[in-house]
């Protein structure tokens, strides 16, 4: 379905939203804000901030091709503990990651979330 500049499609059980036409970036140095369309990439955001100011910045991810909408919404994030089958998810990741296109940047971050008493 295409509507108002973005595309949505369903591959059960996932819903994908592609916002390529919603890419505007407007930086306002007077009030130190930026309005960013969901389809803009982090690289476009970083560039527009740099173009307008050499002292302002925005802390975000390290991959400039990631969409701002997905990055800020936390899309793709799956948090699981060992008791919530994190080991199974890690195994699936390891078996799928090597079969994807080499131009697709993906990563899995394993980190402690707390301490057991």
Local confidence pLDDT in tens for the 117 residues of the chain:
445 566 676 776 666 777 777 889 999 999 999 999 888 999 999 999 999 999 998 888 777 888 888 777 766 677 788 888 888 888 888 888 888 877 766 778 787 777 665
| Predicted local confidence at residue 105, as pLDDT | 67
Residues 34 and 67 occupy one common structural domain: yes
Residues 50 and 84 occupy one common structural domain: no
For residue 36, being part of any structural domain is answered with yes
Domain with 51 in it = 23-77
Name the domain count of the chain: 2
The residue to which tokens 């979330």 are assigned: 113
For residue 3, being part of any structural domain is answered with no
Residues 28 and 62 occupy one common structural domain: yes
51-58 long-range contacts (CB < 8 A, ≥24 apart) are 51/27, 52/27, 53/27, 53/29, 56/27, 56/29, 56/32, 58/34
């Amino acid at each position: 379905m295409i509507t108002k500049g973005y595309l949505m499609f369903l591959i059960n059980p996932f819903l994908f939203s592609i916002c390529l036409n919603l890419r505007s970036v407007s930086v306002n140095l007077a009030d130190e804000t930026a309005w960013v369309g969901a389809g803009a990439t982090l690289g476009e955001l970083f560039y527009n901030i740099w173009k307008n100011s050499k002292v302002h910045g925005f802390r975000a991810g390290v991959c400039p091709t990631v969409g701002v909408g997905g990055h800020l919404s936390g899309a793709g994030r799956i948090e699981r503990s060992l008791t919530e089958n994190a080991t199974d998810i890690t195994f699936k990741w390891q078996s799928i990651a090597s079969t994807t296109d080499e131009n697709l940047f993906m990563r899995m971050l394993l980190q402690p979330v707390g301490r057991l008493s």
